Chains A and B, each alone.
Chain A
């Protein structure tokens, strides 16, 4: 459950959001510059609310009036970043297994689990390639695996299909949907592609300038 009622402000940008997300996949649709990425970064804890309150799974994580702010590393959120942000010094598999090793899982078990999910997303064949050598689509799939593999309590996906080619788009959408349904958590998908959101989400929030 994600509950956000407050103002997201980054630099000159400022916007009030009122969003309730249960165990569902909510799409956030709108043109560039309406604050979609800032919204996700605020929920993840990379930005702070200007005012209002944000709670994740019933825990208040950001409330300026109450001097409350929970660090990103304590929120247990999985996130696909718009530019993927794969660690360049790691292989695809090491990237995918990273959240699992953070949770104390043994390296071999983490690699096995991550590899299984990479197979489902069609990127197991590039497991040993360094992140910078991956194509845009491969990199994005690895980023999706990395966001989901640790079974987080909430998932944020920022343009998760932007680099996926048309041929495999349907398959990746289905895989994401299947995994999110399996996790049964709150998920927010940001995109400027309405078709992606229609296929992926249970509900869509439309934001205009």
Chain B
């Protein structure tokens, strides 16, 4: 009790309280604006349903694509020494710090139909157009979600004691078997956390999506884009959808409580 480090000065407490109010106020404001009596009707409106359907589908696809690309990347970053490793790591982290709109512009530069580096080739060879399409939404969401997954998996892979994989190898487990039966179970907590974070980031993605894939209702309009659009035409719907997104994000945090929130409180 008399420990100096356990005594918290008053100004620190006041600062922390202001911080909590600052974070909580917008959520309270949002909840206050939700028209609870018409909430269900707003959430089942055609435009809202379309946006939710696209958001859920695209975010799940983006998360899976991020997993396919992110797992090998995380493995190489965690376990390989190679020239340019720092550069690759910085490249992986870049979408995290890049303004999402700039990410969208960069994606246009890569996969744009006419001016993109690969866009023309994809169109002429495979008939694939990424811009202003659902595939474009998935690509944009993957671009911003990938770093979250790679970071979580890289940390997880680094923390795994390789003695288990060595033991499995001596017993006769080849690469893929070893990965599936030993590495993956050991990696599971990081994998789950990374997938949830990546999915939440993909679900909330706005800037890169609107820039790269547009905001077409029923085709590329995701829930965050619908909220933005509805704020002018149907504010009640915008608040209802925002409430739903907040609820989903809270669900993700609850799902991760053991890993981060619980850990922080210990």
Contact = CB atoms under 8 A, between A and B. Distances in A.
B167 A73 contact: no
B33 interface: no
Interface string A135-152: 000000000001000100
Interface in B66-124: none
Contacts of A85: 163-164, 166-167
Interface residues of A, number: 24
Contact of B163 (A74, A81, A89): A81
A109 interface: no
B170 A46 contact: yes
A93 B147 CA distance: 38
Interface stretch (B172-180, B223-231, B239-247): B172-180
A133 interface: no
Interface in A75-118: 75-79, 81, 83, 85, 87-89, 98-99, 102-103
B171 A81 contact: no
A99 B163 contact: no
Task: Report, as a range, how many residues of chain B touch the other chain.
Answer: 10 to 19
A151 B103 CA distance: 57
B185 A89 contact: yes
A117 to B, nearest CB: 15
A46 B164 CA distance: 12
A88 B159 CA distance: 14
Contacts of A78: 170-171
Contacts of A88: 164, 186
A46 B165 CA distance: 11
Given A89-B185, A89-B186, A99 B167 contact: no
A17 to B, nearest CB: 19
A72 B182 contact: no
A77 B170 contact: yes
Given A89-B185, A89-B186, A102 B172 contact: yes
B261 interface: no
A98 B169 CA distance: 11
* Residue among B170, B172, B186 having the largest count of chain A Cβ atoms under 10 Å: B170
A102 B173 contact: yes
A113 to B, nearest CB: 15
Contact of A87 (B170, B177, B182): B182
A27 interface: no
Pairs of residues from A and B, 9 with the lowest C-beta to C-beta distance, nearest first: A85-B167, A72-B169, A99-B171, A89-B185, A102-B172, A85-B163, A79-B170, A72-B170, A73-B169
